[in-house]
Amino acid sequence: MFRPLHVLVAAALAVGCAATAPRIGAADPAPKATAAPFAATPGSNHDFADVEQWRRVFDDPARDAWQKPRELVAALGLRPGMWVADLGAGTGYFSRYLDAAVAPGGVVFAVDTEPNLVAHLRTRAEQEKTPTVVPVLASTNDPRLPPGALDLVLIVDTYHHFDRRLDYLRRLSAALKPEGRIAIVDWKKDDLKIGPPPEHRLARAQVVDEMRAAGYALVAEPTLLAHQYVLVFSRQSR
């Protein structure tokens, strides 16, 4: 799956970081002024095959207090009938909230690259009776999403693990509708009360710069989380 470093397991158990990100092929060259932030730094890697371990982490009831899943999904302006993807869905922490927002008639692609987690996502959808949720076993370099179909891609606690973000983000663009958006939720660089260590965080400005280089424009920034930024992007006009 989208995998962080094994040495960070203890930190993840403390804070409930979401699933890690796909690794892709060689990165595209970046503009000179921003080449350093776009370098292909290694993502941190966990083994996510042990579903019960990660279920205790990602679905810890204490997470709700700082992640605010209901408020976060509400801030994204989803409506019944929309098609969305939870990229790096992990154990499906957001599934029922996204289902409630887009049902009836919508689709929630719960995307992960760990087969055990994808099987768990299917079981969870059946148990929670979330009919819009469609588990997707992604490739490490391809989210396996239908082209031109998505209103929103949600990336929670995952972006900072991407190894070669420009390639992946440009490829992800093909899955969006013309007015489709990508929402990135990740850890503030200067807030170390909870979450991963500083070396595994990306500053908000860096994320914005990288997304712009990949062809996106920042269109919204809800300020509802204390420890994380929420950045919403659309594709730049050609």
Q: What is the pLDDT of residues 152-177, one digit of tens each?
A: 999 998 887 776 889 989 999 999 99
24 contacts 168 by C-beta, under 8 angstroms = yes
> In this predicted model, what pLDDT tens digit does every residue of 127-144 receive, in sequence order?
999 999 999 998 878 889
Q: Which domains does the chain carry?
A: 6-235 (3.40.50.150)
Instruction: Give the pLDDT score at 87.
Output: 96
113 contacts 141 by C-beta, under 8 angstroms = no
Instruction: Write out the two tokens for 109.
Output: 């692609």
- Distance, CA of 37 to CA of 34 (rounded, Å): 6
Instruction: Give the pLDDT score at 46.
Output: 57
Instruction: Give the pLDDT score at 4.
Output: 35
> In this predicted model, what pLDDT tens digit does every residue of 52-74 receive, in sequence order?
665 676 778 999 999 999 999 99
Q: What is the pLDDT confidence band of residue 206, given thresholds at 50, 70 and 90? A: very high
Residue closest to 39 by CA, chosen among 215, 210, 190: 210
- What percent of the chain stands above pLDDT 70? 76
Q: Is the pLDDT of residue 222 over 60?
A: yes
Q: What is the pLDDT confidence band of residue 34, given thresholds at 50, 70 and 90? A: very low
- Side-chain half-sphere exposure of 236, counting CA atoms within 13 A: 12
Mean pLDDT across 81-100: 96
How big is the chain by its Cα radius of gyration, in Å? 16
Cα distances (angstroms) measured from residue 94 to each of 132, 136, 137, 200: 13, 15, 17, 23
